[in-house]
């Protein structure tokens, strides 16, 4: 049971974001039952609200037997032609994510990018 949960957790992508544009994102802590957790970034332009992103993520994770909680949100400005992502802003509903955590996750996913963050802005 625990091994299966840990395996499911390992399958969850650390970062899933749109390839271009400015869009909302959430930082989500994913947990296997009674086990360890990890933080993941989800950001998509289709989401009108941060809650839309979180609810869809939670549904996907629940189908894999994983729980989660939202640690906060913000915005991403992804400029692939400049190889840049800027992390900023906050979520009215969930508060501001720790953008430094998000930045580290993005750096691992996009090692050849310049990734910056700021607490300013909405």
Query: Using H for helix, E for strand and C for coil, what is the string for 8-71?
Result: HHHHCCCEEECCCEEEEEEEEEEECCCCCEEEEEEEECCCCCHHHHHHHHHHHHHHCCCEEEEE
Residue 86 a catalytic site member:
no
CA distance to 13, 39, 75, 76, 82, per residue, from 103 (Å): 15, 12, 12, 10, 17
The reply to whether 24 sits in an annotated binding site is yes
Torsion from C-alpha of 40, 45, 50, 53, nearest 10 degrees: -50
Which one from 44, 50, 78, 99 is the annotated catalytic residue? 50
CB 70 within 8 A of CB 94: yes
Known binding positions: 24
Q: Which residues are annotated as a binding site for substrate?
A: 24
* Active site positions, annotated: 50
């Amino acid at each position: 049971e625990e091994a299966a949960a840990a395996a499911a957790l390992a399958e969850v992508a650390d970062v899933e974001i749109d390839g271009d544009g400015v869009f909302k994102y959430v930082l989500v802590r994913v947990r296997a039952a009674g086990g360890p957790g990890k933080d993941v970034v989800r950001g998509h332009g289709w989401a009108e609200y941060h809650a839309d992103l979180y609810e869809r993520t939670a549904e996907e994770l629940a189908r894999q037997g994983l729980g989660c909680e939202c640690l906060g949100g913000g915005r991403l400005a992804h400029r692939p032609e400049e190889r840049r992502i800027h992390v900023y802003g906050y979520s009215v509903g969930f508060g501001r994510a720790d953008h430094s955590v998000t930045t580290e996750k993005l750096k691992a996913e996009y090692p050849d990018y310049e990734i910056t963050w700021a607490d300013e802005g909405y």
